[in-house]
Structure 1
Amino acid sequence: MKIKFKLNLWATIVVAGLASMLVACDTSTEEVVVSAPLFKVGQAVSTKTPLSGSIKGTLLSDSTYKVGGDVFINEGDTLVIQPGAKIHFPGDKPYCFVVKGSLLSLGTEAKPVYFTVPSVAKTDILGADPTTDPAYKGFWGGIYGETTFKNIIIKWTHLEFGGGKLGTSPVSYMANGATSYVLSTKNPDGILVLEDSWMYGCIDDPFRPFGCKFNVMRNTFEKGGFTGGESMNIKSGNVGIFAYNLIVGSATNGPKASNNGGVNPQTNVQFYNNTIIASGFRRSSAGRGGSINFEEGSRGVYYNNLMVNCKYGPRIVGATANYNGNALVVADTANIKGGYNYCYVDSLKIANEIYPTGFATKPSVNDIPAPNSFLPATYKPGAVYDGSAIVGKNNPMFVNFPLPQTTKKMGDVSFVGSFNFRLQATSPAIGKGYTGFTPLNVVPVSATFGSSAITPPNKDIGAYPSDGTGNKH
């Protein structure tokens, strides 16, 4: 026992001495950072064979995959897409991703994922003829969450040139030959996250959910819909948040909430801190198009939204009406709250529709411009008024976007390009927001199976608050 003790004591002294020598020799203060491994499930999917049929596993980082047919992720299965992966569609077939289980597209800011058509180039030219713009042609189908889908998580991902016309529909709730949506779901219990991503072009709605719990945050929507379509057209069975999104040049509205379809739960949406530019001008119907819309039994809130040269301001349908054959059904007006919204306009026609004629949108004393600066003291929601006093007033002062707008038509602006819709330090939108409500946190916060963060409302108005917590594009 004594010998053993002495050996152990000697070993301890030696080890301690060596440790001291190593510490003495290490004069560097540099920390070694070991990167976490990329999230992966199952086997890696080969790049040698075009994607088609039932697939599960992982599409590997920085790899290119060609699509050769409709892709199905079966119930209980998961397909993970790692950062930097590219999914290329041929462009001549309306191929779709049909999700019956879970799809996780986990791009990063440094390495976004792409769903695109490599043979098609963007033609972002102010005033270009939309009839020749490939953004409105629909070169592939869409990503569909079937009635059994569990998770569709899309982060830092480009979704480009989709929304074409289907042939034989691969999804239960879309008809053969129907115009596709780039992203759609039909399961009120499914989780959908779209964050820090880009949606570019579509024939109709880029995003139309028929049922899910969603968080749609910090995205950029460009050229949504040819002659009709919203950036997000929400139907019944949906509850969630649409916030910190930049929408440029939607055909009709930016986002629209409707309880159409009769699926529980009732549509309940929070629209806050969005920036919506030049939307509503490719939809020619009277009473249609513009910025934010509640109709047909939907409920929710709309705060801190910045709208510039949109055809209409926030529109709440307060009575069943018909506009050029378009039926509009009353929203759940008792359960809709809003205010602290900012509208800038460069024409009298749209100044007269900041509070749309014939609708139930109520002015808020905290709106910009102040309602009492142009509305008569006897104003009632939906009444005609003269907005000439506010044309060209209250410039929000973007970092790089010319106001007054210098293009020939308000609808000429349909893409971001080199514009920068962040606010200058002296913008009148800073400090004018409202934070006194709680976000609808209906999705989990998770690096993989949920939202990276639920960004709360901000004291500034628009998608780019001065504290840097909003849209990163």
Structure 2
Amino acid sequence: MKNLFIYCTLAMLALASCKDDSDDTTPIDVPVVQESVAGEVSGVWTKGGTYKITGHIQIPKGKSLTIEEGVTVLFSDSVIKPEVVILGSLYSLGTAAAPVKFTVPDSWKTAKNLYGNLWGGLIAGPESAEFVLNNTILEYGGAVTTEESPSVKAGLYKAVAGEHVPVLYYPNVKGKLVVTGSTIRNFNEDGFYIEGGQVIIANNYFYTTGVSGGDAINIKSGVQADVAFNVVYSPNTNALKLSNTGDRTPQAYIVGYNNTIINAGWRRPTTKGGSIWLEKAVRADLYNNLLANDRYGIKRDAGNPEDVRSVISNTFYYGYDQTTANQFQPSTEIVKGVNDIISAKAGENDPKFVGYPLVTSNANAAYDNTWDFHLQTGSPALTKGKTDFTRLFANGIIVNGITYKSPAPADYIGALGIK
């Protein structure tokens, strides 16, 4: 009986201990849901939150907005079609597991709205100091400006009504812009339109952009940029449009390497470029780029060509039909590089993608997320890359106290090697 009493006492103490533990719980953070966001914004949008944008928003000069991982920026007004104007700094800091999303309600993502036009874009001002998009998804924007658009009133981008705004516009020649690990899709016209700054654009996906015109990445004078390891699928015109238009200082200088560009240029109703376009004294060093089923090879404006110091090297070409193969051949407009892999016959130089049917119509713009542009063992693009060249920001750009470095070049051609 004495032992039984001891056991019962111990059991009661244990139950009391469990009760005390359960009463001492730590509160669970519930993600923010903020309704009706409009006007000036700054500070921090917290991890996992949802911010419903119902009017134009603006980051004031001298202030910043940090968007933490997993945040959804939901554009919820189909009449106003809000723009995001950045006069200060923007830091969108998603992760691969929890990206930041600039998006619209799921019910709006229909075939009718394949090219977006449902909100504006991210439009920076001339003194916007720092701009980071890391692991960020931007989709279904590119709306047309009106006289009431804040970008028009502030004299930003083209500063006129009736223009589709790009995904991102950045004009500060003294600023810093970094875009890494992000996805840009379902936009009406240009992806990025950049007129200034130290720039790194790396490890991104661009697809389903441009209805009747537009380039994935459009760079003008005032820009120094490393553009690397991007996959660009079916831009309306070019994956890269590189120009020194505007004659800003510094001269536009772009090092573009290890990019994979597929089906570029075929949906443009008039003939211009169809992969990478060079013009107006831009300085461009291009290495290890893989062009598959694009409308043209690397093409220049013969009447106003690139800087003579430009270097083109180790470009891989594949065309599944004879028309495409013919339009890759060097001419006064199609730039011949050093150590290019190019043939005159349809179907030669199969890059051996892991999961993409090369006979897909070159006019197709609908992206299939099961596609895989890694290279199989035995791909002729493997071990053909050049690595002994100088990139602009190998030592990095410091933004908001973080050093972002352009990735080291690979010894294969294209954005993705063997898995």
Q: Which TM bucket (shorter chain)?
A: 0.7 to 0.9
Identity %: 33
Pair 1:144 & 2:123 matched: yes
Give 1:80's aligned amino acid.
Answer: T
Structure 1 position 49, deviation (Å): 3.8
Asked whether 1:417 is paired with 2:369, we answer yes
Give CA deviations for 1:138-176 in whole Å, capped at 9, x if unaligned: 111111110110111000000001111012231322223
Indicate conservation of the 8 Å contact 1:106/1:113, yes or no: yes
1:210 aligns with 2:195: yes
Partner of 1:306: 290
8 Å contact kept, 1:182–1:207: yes
Residue 85 (str. 1) matches residue 37 (str. 2): no
Q: Any idea what SS the aligned residue of 2:105 has?
A: coil
Q: Distance in 2 between matches of 1:270 and 1:76?
A: 31
Deviation, structure 1 residue 119: 3.8
Matched AA of 2:354: V
**Structure 1 residue aligned with 2:238, among 253, 258, 267?**
253
2:137 — aligned with what? 158
2:99 alignment counterpart: 112
Per-residue deviation, 1:262 = 2.2
CA distance, structure 1, for counterparts of residue 399 and residue 192 of structure 2: 23
RMSD across aligned positions (CA): 2.1
User: TM-score, normalised on structure 1?
Assistant: 0.77
Please say if residues 65 and 86 of structure 1, whose CA atoms lie closer than 8 Å, have aligned partners that are also in contact.
Answer: yes
The question of 1:226 aligning with 2:211 is answered yes
Task: State whether residues 246 and 463 of structure 1, in contact with CA within 8 Å, keep that contact through their aligned partners in structure 2.
Answer: yes
Letter in 2 for 1:440: L
Distance 1:442 1:232 in 2: 21
| Higher share in strand | 2
Cα deviation, residue 206, structure 1: 1.5
2:415 aligned residue: 463
Shift of 1:411: 1.4
Deviation for aligned residue 1:219: 0.2
Is 2:283–2:306's contact at 8 Å kept on the other side of the alignment?
Answer: yes
Partner of 1:395: 350
CA drift of 1:133 comes to 4.5
Task: Give the superposition deviation at 1:236.
Answer: 1.4
Does 1:355 find its partner at 2:329?
yes
Distance 1:200 1:67 in 2: 19
Counterpart Cα distance in 2 of 1:447 and 1:47: 29
Shift in Å, 1:135: 2.8
Q: In structure 2, do the counterparts of structure 1 residues 222 and 300 end up closer, same or farther at CA, with 3 Å as the change threshold?
A: same
Aligned to 1:338: 312
Partner of 1:271: 256
CA contact (8 A) 1:193 1:451 kept: no
Whether the 8 Å CA contact 2:396–2:406 is kept in 1: the answer is no
Match of 2:81 among 84, 91, 94: 94
Could you say which residue in structure 2 is the equivalent of 1:127? none
Q: Which residue of 1 aligns with 2:23?
A: none
1:294 aligns to 2:273 (yes or no): no
Q: CA deviation at 1:89?
A: 0.5
Residue 48 of structure 1 aligns to a residue whose secondary structure is strand
Contact 2:318 2:349 (C-alpha < 8 Å) held by counterparts: yes
**For 1:223, what is the secondary structure of its paired residue?**
strand
Structure 1: which 5+ residue stretches go unaligned? 1-44, 124-131, 321-328, 375-386, 469-473
Tell me the amino acid that sits aligned with residue 96 of structure 2: E
Q: Which residue of 2 aligns with 1:471?
A: none
With over 3 angstroms needed to count, the CA separation of the structure-2 counterparts of 1:113 and 1:301, relative to structure 1, is same
Cα distance, 1:358 vs structure 2: 4.0
- Pair 1:438-2:367 in alignment: no
Match of 2:17 in 1: none
Deviations 1:99-120 (A, max 9, x none): 1111000000110000001145
Moved more, 342-351 or 92-101: 92-101
Q: Deviations over 1:62-94 (max 9, x none)?
A: 111100211111121110000000000023323
What is the count of residue pairs matched by the alignment? 383
Specify the alignment match of 2:176 in structure 1.
Answer: 191
Matched to 2:46, the amino acid is: L
In structure 2, the gaps of 5 or more residues are 1-30
For 1:179 and 1:336, how far apart are their aligned partners in 2? 32
Contact 1:183 1:207 in 2 (8 A): yes
Q: Which amino acid in structure 2 is aligned with residue 393 of structure 1?
A: E
Q: What amino acid sits opposite 1:106 in the alignment? A: L
Does the 8 Å contact 1:272/1:303 carry over to 2?
Answer: yes
Q: Classify 1:360/1:310 alpha carbon distance in 2 versus 1 (closer, same or farther; 3 Å).
A: closer
Question: Which amino acid in 2 is paired with 1:292?
Answer: I
Assess if the C-alpha contact under 8 Å between 1:249 and 1:413 holds in 2: yes
* Superposed CA offset, 1:9-28 (max 9, x none): xxxxxxxxxxxxxxxxxxxx
AA aligned to 2:329 is Y
1:272-295, Cα deviation, whole Å (9 max, x unpaired): 000011110111222x13111111
